[in-house]
Structure 1
C-alpha cells in the first residue's frame, strides 16, 4: 500500500509540474508581445513599456521566468490581476466559496439521482429500463448551456419558482439561487452515473453467488444491498471521482449563464481580457482538484473492493 501511495503521489507531482509548464508557457504561445497583452492594447510610452517588462521579468529567459513564477506559486503568490488590480490569490479565494457550493450541490444531485435511477433500471427491467435509457441518453446529449437556457426560461421566466441570476445570501437564499445552476451542471453527469450504475449492477446480478443467495431464500433487498450494490461500488466510485473533478471544469459555462460570481465566471472574464495571472492560477487550481480527486479515488478503491488490492499485488 505504501508503494502504491508513493507511485500515485509521484504521478500527481509529475502531472502538476507538466501542467504548470504548459500553463506558464501559454503566455508565450499566444501571438504578440506578452507586454502588449498585459497593457490590454493601450498605447504606452517606451519608458512605461520597459517598466512593465521589468516588473514581470519579460526580458529574462523562459527558464528563469518559470523558476521565479513557480517559486512564488509555491508560497501562495500568484501575481497581480491586470483586470482587477489586486492579488490573484485573494481574488480567487473570494470567488471560491460560490463555486464550492455549486459543485457540492451538483455532486449531491448527481449521486442521489444517478444511483437511484441506475438502480431502478437494473432492478426493473422492461418499460422502466427503456425509459431510463432514453432519459439518460437525452441527459448525456444535453450541453450545460442548453440546460441552463431551458431551466431559466421555464422555472424563472414563466413559473417564477427560482431566481435566474445572483449568488443569494444566507443558507436559504444561496440554495434558492444555486438550485437551477446545480441542475444544469448535474444533468449530463447524472445521466452518465446512472448508466454506469445500471451496467455495474446488471453485471453483478448475473453472477453465480447472487443466484445462490436467491436460491437459499435470502430476501431480495438483502441480496441487492449485500451482494449487488456493494460489489458494484468499484466502477461507480471510479466514475464518480472523475465526475466530481470534471464539475470544476464545467462551472465556467453555468456560472456565466446564471451570473454567479464564482471561479468559473472569473476564468471566462479573465480569458476575454487576457488577464494571464488569473488564468494561470485558476487553471492550476482546476488541474490540482482533478488530480487530487482521482488520487483520492485510487486510495479508496482497495477499501471499497478488496479485489483491487489483491490484483495490485
Structure 2
C-alpha cells in the first residue's frame, strides 16, 4: 500500500494552484480585451443617444449640449472607455441612461428570472437526455435508439424562436394549458410560467447532451475491459454501470460546457415569451445604445462562461483519478 505524505500532497497541489492562477489571469485579460471591443462597437454603432433620449420632443441647442455634457458624450473615445473602466474597478458599473437607475440595480432586478429559466432548462435537459442517451447506446439500432437520434436531430436543427412559437401556439393558444407571456408573481407561479421557455431551451441543450452521452457510452461499451467482463459472465447491468461511470468524464465536462448554449438561447427565449430577464434587457440596451448596461451584461456573461469552463476542468480533475494523481488536468 502506497502512503501519501503531506509533502507529496502539497507538491501535487502546487501545479493545481498554478493552473488556477493562470486560468484566472487569462480570464481577466480576456475580459479586458472583450470590454474594449464591445465598448468600441457600441461607440461606433449608428444612432444618436441624445435623439433617442429626446424622442420627437423639440429641444433647444442648450438642452442638447447639457445632455451631452451630463453623459460625457463629447469626451474622446479613450477617455470615455477609461472613465468607465475606472468605475468598474472601484465597483461602480455606472447608470443606465434608458432606465435612469444604477446598472447594478437594473441587472439585479432581472437576474433572478434568467437564473430560474436556465436552471429549469438545464434540469429538464439532463433529466431527459442522459437516460435517453444511455438507452440509445445500450440498445443501439433498436427503436429507442432511432427515437433518440430523431429527437437529437430535431433539437440540434430547430431554431429556438421557432420552437418557442410552436409551443406557444399549441400549449398556450390551441390547448391553453400554460400562460402566453410573463414571469408570474413568484414561487410556483413563476415556475409555471417558465415551463414552456424551459422546454424551448432544453430541447437544443438536451440534444447535445444526448449525443455526447450516446457517443461516450458506445465507446466504453466497445472497450476491451467490457468485452472481458462479459466473457467472465458478469451481469449486463453491472457492466453497463461500469461503462457509464467511465463515460461520465466526457458527459459531465461536455454538459457543463454546452451550458453556455443557454447564454445565447436565453435572449431569444425571453424575447419570445416576454420574460423580464437579462436577455431582454441586453436586447433593449443594445437597441438604445445604453453602453453601461451592455458592457456590464457582456462582462457578466463572459464571466459566467469562463467560470463554467473552469468548473468543467475541475470536474474532469475530480472524475479522472489519473489526472488527479498528476495534480493537473490533461
Displacement of 1:155 in angstroms is 1.0
Within a 5 Å distance, the mapping from 1:120-131 to structure 2 comes to: 120-126=135-141, 127-131=143-147
Structure 1: state its 5+ residue gaps: none
- Determine the structure 2 residue equivalent to 1:269: 284
Structure 1 residues 140 and 9: alpha-carbon distance in aligned structure 2, compared to 1, 3 A threshold: same
**Partners in 1 of 2:59 and 2:42 — Cα distance?**
20
Displacement of 1:119 in angstroms is 0.7
Displacement of 1:215 in angstroms is 2.3
- Determine the structure 2 residue equivalent to 1:187: 203
- Determine the structure 1 residue equivalent to 2:5: none
Displacement of 1:240 in angstroms is 1.3
Q: Is structure 2 residue 104 aligned with structure 1 residue 116?
A: no
Structure number with greater Rg is: 2
Structure 2: state its 5+ residue gaps: 1-15
TM-score, normalised relative to structure 2: 0.87
Q: Quick one: which of 96, 102, 115 aligns to 1:100?
A: 115
- Determine the structure 2 residue equivalent to 1:27: 42
Displacement of 1:293 in angstroms is 0.9
Structure 1 residues 217 and 40: alpha-carbon distance in aligned structure 2, compared to 1, 3 A threshold: farther
What is the aligned-residue RMSD (CA, Å)? 2.1
Contact 1:38 1:275 in 2 (8 A): no
Residue correspondences, number: 312
Moved more, 192-201 or 126-135: 126-135
Contact 1:201 1:228 in 2 (8 A): yes
Displacement of 1:76 in angstroms is 3.4
Q: Quick one: which of 210, 234, 237 aligns to 1:218?
A: 234
Contact 2:110 2:276 in 1 (8 A): yes
- Determine the structure 2 residue equivalent to 1:201: 217
**Partners in 1 of 2:81 and 2:53 — Cα distance?**
17
Displacement of 1:103 in angstroms is 0.3
**Partners in 1 of 2:137 and 2:38 — Cα distance?**
43
**Partners in 2 of 1:100 and 1:312 — Cα distance?**
29
